Amino acid sequence: MIRSSVGAVLAGIYFAVAAFITQDEVRHSAGGWISLRGMLTGIITAPSQFLVAPLLRLIGVPPVNYSELGFSGYTQLVLHVLVSTIIIYFLGAGVQWLVRAAFTRS
């Protein structure tokens, strides 16, 4: 049951963009001596990078190595995209709630 249509739309758009960027960076490894591989994924999953990544480091999970992605790396990328999608949903739901509250109390 979707409680917030705004949150669901924003989360859907975010998920599509984040999934595209993440899979694109995983598949393409060009860059020569300077490689910015993983930079856009880090930016797009920033909400999760701030919340989940420190907890993963605390329990001993190494950071994602884009040069040699293994099971741990792929799992972390999926986790970061999903957690960030959930955060975006709740931000959208909060905005919808605030707008409704502002217009119903007027």
Q: Which residues make Cβ contacts (< 8 Å) with residue 102, sequence separation at least 6?
A: none
Q: Please compute Rg for the chain using Cα positions.
A: 17
The answer as to whether 54 is a domain residue is: yes
**68 or 86, which is more confident:** 86
Quick check: 97 pLDDT over 80?
yes
Amino acid 31: pLDDT: 61
How far is Cα 11 from Cα 31, in angstroms, rounded to an integer? 31
Interval 24-53: pLDDT, tens? 888 876 666 667 777 888 889 888 888 888
Confidence band of 11 (pLDDT split at 50, 70, 90): very high
Q: What is the DSSP string of 53-86?
A: HHHHHHTTPPPP-TTS--HHHHHHHHHHHHHHHH
What mean pLDDT do residues 11-27 have?
91
The answer as to whether 86 is a domain residue is: yes
Residues of the domain holding 42: 5-27+37-104
How many domains would you assign to the chain? 1
The answer as to whether 32 is a domain residue is: no
The answer as to whether 80 is a domain residue is: yes
The pTM for the full model equals 0.83
Say which range, 30-34, 53-57, 71-75, 91-95, has the weakest mean pLDDT: 30-34
